Amino acid sequence: MTFSAPEENTLGVVVNNARRAVGKTARRLGRASAHRASLGTAFLGLGAAILVGLRCVYGVSWFIGVWGRGAYPQPLAALSAWIVLGAVVVGAIVTSRVIGDRLPDWMFGLFLTGLLVAVALDVIAVWELHDIGRNATAALAAGMALLVVVTVRGSSEILIAAGVLGAGLAVVIFLDTPPTEQITGEWIAPQITAVAAAVLPAVIGVAIVEGFRRMVQVELDRVLVQSTVSAPRYAVGMLASEELARLDLAAEELLESIASKKTALPLAPKMASVAASLATELRLHLIEGRRETWLYHAVSESEMLGKAVTLVDKSSLAGLLDPIQRDGLLAAAWLLVGDTITSNASRTVTVQVGPVAPGETPVPEHKILIPITITTTGVARNRVDPSIWDALGRVGHYSDHTQDSSLRVDIECLVDNPADL
């Protein structure tokens, strides 16, 4: 076994540098849940596929109508446009159902090329009519066909494709203008509608899928953090044991490589400093690891709470709260942060737990009273979600005020006295 230096500083919890640790945790969890963001989008994709199918049926019936009137200057071009589009759409639907995750770049390229060919053929078919807006069929359905891949490709890619298609249609329409005297509102309106019909479905589809992914992300974040509610009074957090294990392994490999004479003694200065930093990190992990409460881990592990919530809990009193109280407190914090009526970053929440002031209020036997103060900025009293009061009620007796035109809540939280357990 040979030893290699740890790739990065693995300290998860450094007392005077908690911000960094928090950011790292959030990043790592964010990465872990990024690929889960595709949860449920398959169902949306199915809906989109059905819509595209219906749109194509509508487009084809329109095409048959024009064909029947004998209005096509180049009927074969129009027919091949529909054949290409149909093949591309069917192929894309089947492929994205089978692959389910992310469409490979080359397939996406093929798909876009197919759409481009269909649009070009359809434009050629109706060019001599000088009224693309009213006569194009496959070209417009091609815009909607982008919806087939809306759940398996990035939003920006779809938007760019839709934008290019819209701009392309506009240019083609402009190049294909009829004699000037025919250009009236009567002529322009269908052109506008046509471009909109080609572009807007993709835009709306992207908006829906983005919103859906965001919803899933937020809910995942919340559910993952929710598991801290059942954590013990002091906990090491999800990553601490992993980091401790890594440190142990690094130490084992170093010691092993020395024992097996792979590393010469006395150690080179570089290896010696590796050993020193390993010892320091290991020591800090062993000593400091168990001082944090569930609330600290909840805040630091959550992408949403981590950004907005500051926790002040010098005596780690939050660990004394029972699961129902924790659930209430977490839900309240979540509602304050997550209920973004205006999605600005100016909204912050500070949760201060303790200090315990003994003897001020009579408390039942074997209980102590922990004051919890939630101060906020940018949260108007009348704008908070009403269900927050129910959540706060689960934590304890509370009173709310407005401080600096933002909500402030004082909670008197009764918990079991740890000395009596």
Partner 1 sequence: MDLITKERDRLLQRTARVYGLSFTLVALLCFVLPGAVSGAALIISLPLFVVLGVAQFRIGISRSPVWLALSLGAGLAIVVVTCTVGDRPSQAGFTAVLELAAASLAASGLVLTSNAPRIAALVIVFLVVGTTLLLLTSDLQAPLRTAGIYVLGWVLPTLIAIWISAGVPQVAKRIASIGRAHRAERQASELEAQRRQGARLLHDTVLATLTLLAHSGVGVTPEALRQQAGDDAKLLRQLRLGTTPTPNGTAGATVGTATSPIQVIDEPVLGTTLESVKQRFGRMGLQVSWHGTGQVLLPSDHLDAFLLALAECLENVRRHSGVTEAHVTITEDNKMVRAMVTDAGVGFDISDIDDAKLGFTESVVARLRDVGGNARLFSAPGSGTTVVLEVPRGDASTAEAGQ
Q: Which parts of 373-392 interact with partner 1 (CB under 8 A)?
A: 385, 387
Tell me if 261 contacts partner 1 by CB under 8 A.
yes
Buried b (16+ CB within 10 A) or exposed e, 148-180: bbbbbbeeebbbebbeebbebbbebbeebeeee
Of these, 18, 258, 356, 363, which contacts partner 1 (CB under 8 A)? 258
Tell me if 251 contacts partner 1 by CB under 8 A.
yes
Q: Is 396 left (phi over 0), alpha (psi -120 to 50) or beta?
A: left
Cα–chain-centroid distance for residue 311? 24
Tell me if 44 contacts partner 1 by CB under 8 A.
yes
Tell me if 37 contacts partner 1 by CB under 8 A.
no
Tell me if 185 contacts partner 1 by CB under 8 A.
yes
* Residues in CB range of 199: below 8 A, 6 or more apart: 143, 162, 163, 165, 166
Which H/E stretch holds residue 294? helix 294-301
Q: Which stretch binds partner 1 (CB under 8 A): 59-67, 124-132, 193-201, 362-370?
A: 193-201
Tell me if 338 contacts partner 1 by CB under 8 A.
yes
Tell me if 71 contacts partner 1 by CB under 8 A.
no
Tell me if 345 contacts partner 1 by CB under 8 A.
no
Tell me if 208 contacts partner 1 by CB under 8 A.
yes
Tell me if 196 contacts partner 1 by CB under 8 A.
yes
Tell me if 107 contacts partner 1 by CB under 8 A.
no
For residues 39 and 363, which CB has a smaller minimum distance to partner 1 in the complex?
A: 39
For residues 108 and 294, which CB has a smaller minimum distance to partner 1 in the complex?
A: 294
Q: Give the C-alpha separation, 407 to 327, whole Å.
A: 20
Q: Which stretch binds partner 1 (CB under 8 A): 86-94, 174-182, 229-237, 368-376?
A: 229-237
Asked if residues 228 and 235 have their Cβ atoms less than 8 Å apart, the reply is yes
Question: Greatest CA separation found in the chain?
Answer: 95
Tell me if 228 contacts partner 1 by CB under 8 A.
yes
Asked if residues 247 and 7 have their Cβ atoms less than 8 Å apart, the reply is no
For residues 78 and 144, which CB has a smaller minimum distance to partner 1 in the complex?
A: 144
Of 243, 233, 288, nearest to 24 (Cα)? 243
Asked if residues 304 and 347 have their Cβ atoms less than 8 Å apart, the reply is no
For residues 1 and 83, which CB has a smaller minimum distance to partner 1 in the complex?
A: 1
Total binding residues for partner 1 by CB under 8 A?
A: 85
